[in-house]
Amino acid sequence: MDHARTSLARFLAPRSIAVIGASPERGRIRGILLHNLRQNGYSGRIYPVNPSYAEIAGLRCYPDLAAIAAPVDLALIAIPAEHVLAALKACAGLGIPHALIISSGFAEEGGARRAIQAEIAALARQSGMRISGPNAEGFYNAIDQVAATFSPATDRATDRAPVIAGARRVGIIAQSGGIGFALYNRGRALGLPFSHVITTGNEADLTAADFFAHLAADPATGVILLFLESVRDGAGFCAAARRAAENGKKVIAVKVGQTAAGERASLSHTASIAGWRAAYDAAFASLGVIAARDPDEAVALAAAFATNPGAAGRRAGVITVSGGAGAWLADALVAAGLDMPEISPATQARIRGFIPSYGATANPVDITAQAAYHGGLTRTIAELMEEDGIDLIAVAISAASETRLSLDPPELASLLARRAKPVLLFSYTLPSDFARAGLAEAGAVVLTHLAALARAAALLADPPKPAPVPPTPRRLPAAACRALAGHAGTLAEYQAKDALAAAGFALAPRALAANLEAALAAARAIGFPLALKLQSPDLPHKSDIGGVRLGINDEAELGEAFALLLAAGRAAGARIAGVLVEKMALPGIEILLSAVRDPGFGPVVMLGAGGVMAEVFRDVTHRLAPLDIAVARAMIGELRSAPLLAGFRGAPTADCEALARLIVALGDFAAAAPPALREVELNPVIVHAAGAGCTIADALIILADAPEKGDRACPS
């Protein structure tokens, strides 16, 4: 069996399920599992397995799996952790293709339990059985009515929310079971229809990326919502995201779980700035994945994409029954980057015909509460649907009433059925169940969080798009491989620049001087003015100890600076390799450019404002490497400090094309370098006036502390 390509369709829609550890006790997880399967209408065969019972709730109970003597598609395991491996081996021996481990007490406990989880992973690889969990909350397949979970969110007795007819279904994948079903619970309260809710637990075998790939290809799923703690299969995740984009599916992700940057944080600016988010920011930006900041925003974005078409532009029209609510909504939309053009005179004239004289028609359109209950809202929505100067419509209403709605559901349903632009509803009061139900019947979701609605509107107008499939990076020249080989840990600047020069990077004239005589000779060959920099693998931040002297204009200054640098190095107790004598760079804009190898996603390129701005303002953007010139240009445009490069207040326009080429080159270098490369930082890169190029003023390369098993000088 091809373990990597086995379809998960039968896992999620099994024809028969064995519940190992089934119990009649509804107060225990093992009893809830059986109850949830039955009350949600599962139509397949259920085989309770527990030697303590002859039957449970009218179902025959089997003493062991072998006694079933019939095909089983999925084994649902809820027994003490110490017995799980034996149960899995029994499943494998009987040819059961899928298992879902609800049981906890494995890697999350550490110690010997971690070893048991490793054995589960090995069994999956050896047998070809696909295993979800352990420590999972299970899944819910809403289409085929498979509630293989103990989550109370699937309790039909409490699930009375209406479902919006015709909306695209939302699929949830969560590495936290509780949060996965919490997102489902929140979405159901809005009326959203779902295809699947899948929780992945400890991911001994099946990962979030595996289920992501399944939903990306699933025709029943239109929007995918991810809750991520860590991505264990970066390549699989990227492939799934690209497949989703190809199939026109929006992907929304919430990433949580902060980890310290560890020792790297003391070695480079990149690590202290990028931290734990860098790889995810890069992956999401490269793949067109929308990052959500909290559960409310995540569900609001899913609702907006599930119930609306895209917008042709960023021109928003606001309709309100309250002047204050309309102004608040308009402010939020403008803050999110949308435009608020004035409504055309002809449309304003028609709207004036059915609203009070004290209403407003320009934009926002305030029809007043009086007109709202005489059909004014639906008539105004219809007018703005036909307004050529409006690309999306946002409507502010009060949906608190338990007896009446300002939007007639049948009329609204008729409007929404033929809309070609988004219509978003905002209630400035808490919506009643009556209002939510009526609006859901019409095919609409009512939102209560302004910022989330405004961001949804902006993304409907300008959705993120995945970058083109990255080009294959060029192989590193043999000389660059040799320059990196044999080293470990942090390279001194001169070593890093030697490796970069061998890889084809343009660098200023320079020479390493072990003594003053060599420094003077280098100065005569290079020419003043010069920069002198102490070289030591122990001093990645050499300027912190006074290890950098700039603007050296003659031999006398050079001699004085050389002595001061050596004294500073000795005072710091550093191993001194010499002093780098380098041509001073021309003036320009300082930029930070770096690449970090992430364990999951591979090399990540970071571009940021240089100098103090890099760490104070964290003005940075990220992409996965390698990347092309168009992506590099987009990264430059994303910086808040981009106006400085464009010639702010009469300054010369910077050579952004040269910077873009340097970004591409660094991405190629990081992607083609051996796995031992952990990080390369060019800081600062000085971007000169247009046509004058860039100067790599300083460089830092960090390699693994020891060669990894099977590591080569360069990938073949």
Q: What is the pLDDT of residue 713?
A: 52
- Confidence band of 113 (pLDDT split at 50, 70, 90): confident
What are the angstrom distances between the C-alpha of 34 and each of 23, 59, 342, 572? 8, 10, 59, 68
DSSP 544: G
In percent, how much of the chain has pLDDT > 70? 93
CA torsion, ordered 11, 17, 21, 22, to nearest 10 deg: 130
Return d(Cα 618, Cα 314) in angstroms, integer. Answer: 28
* 514, 502: one domain: no
Whether residue 71 is preceded by a cis peptide bond, meaning omega within 30 degrees of 0, is no
Q: Establish if 144 belongs to a structural domain.
A: no
Q: pLDDT tens across 238-287, in order?
A: 999 999 999 999 999 999 874 443 334 334 444 444 445 788 999 999 99
Answer yes or no: is 57 within a domain. yes
Q: Are residues 502 and 643 in the same domain?
A: yes
Token reading at 13: 């829609």
Into how many domains does the chain fold? 5
- 661-676 per-position pLDDT tens digit: 999 999 999 999 998 9
- Residues ≥6 apart with Cβ < 8 Å to 155: 36, 39
Q: Which domain holds residue 51?
A: 1-136
Q: How far apart are the first and last CA of the chain?
A: 29
Q: Are residues 261 and 346 in the same domain?
A: no
Q: Are residues 75 and 188 in the same domain?
A: no
Summary mean pLDDT of the chain: 91
Let me know if residue 424 belongs to a domain: yes
Is the domain of 493 the same as that of 560? no
3-state secondary structure (DSSP) of residue 73:
coil
Element housing 636 (H / E)? helix 629-638
Ranges of H-type helices in 423-508: 433-442, 450-461, 478-484, 493-502
Say whether pLDDT at 711 is over 70: no
Q: Are strands 16-20 and 45-49 parallel, antiparallel or unpaired?
A: parallel
141 lies in some domain: no
What CATH number is attached to the domain comprising 128?
Answer: 3.40.50.720
Q: Residue 89 corresponds to which tokens in the numbers above?
A: 């081996």
- Express each pLDDT in 398-443 by its tens digit: 999 999 999 999 999 999 999 999 999 999 999 999 999 999 999 9
Say if 154 falls within a structural domain.
no
391: in domain? yes
CATH number reported for the structural domain that contains residue 365 in this entry: 3.40.50.261
Last-in-domain residue among 433, 461, 489: 461
pLDDT tens, residue by residue, 225-236:
999 988 999 999
Q: Which of 583, 606, 628 is the last residue of a domain?
A: 583
> Is residue 249 located within the same domain as residue 102?
no
39-55: per-residue pLDDT in tens?
A: 999 999 999 999 999 99
Task: Say if residue 175 is in the same domain as residue 249.
Answer: yes
How does pLDDT run across 183-200, given as a tens digit for each residue? 999 999 999 999 999 999
Counting every residue, how long is the chain? 716
Considering the domain architecture, whether residues 590 and 551 belong to the same structural domain is answered as no
- Shared-domain flag, residues 664 and 576: no
pLDDT of residue 540: 84
The answer to the question of residue 143 being in a domain is no
Q: Say whether both 293 and 341 belong to one domain.
A: no
CATH classification at residue 614: 3.30.470.20
Contact 578, 512 (CB under 8 A): yes
526 and 432 housed in the same domain: no
Last residue of a domain, one of 280, 308, 336: 308
Residue 187 lies in a domain: yes
Per-residue pLDDT at 201 exceeds 90? yes
Burial class of residue 353 in the structure, from the number of CB atoms within 10 Å of its CB (0-12 exposed, 13-18 middle, 19+ buried): exposed
Residues 84, 6 share a domain: yes
pLDDT digits (tens, 9 = 90+) for 577-625: 999 999 999 999 999 999 999 988 999 999 999 866 666 777 899 999 9
Pick from 426, 364, 371: which is nearest to 398 by CA? 426
Percentage of the chain surpassing pLDDT 90?
81
Beta strands in 540-662 (DSSP E): 548-552, 578-583, 589-598, 602-609, 620-624
3-state secondary structure of 119: helix
Closest CA to 510 of 269, 687, 669, 695: 695
pTM, two decimal places? 0.90
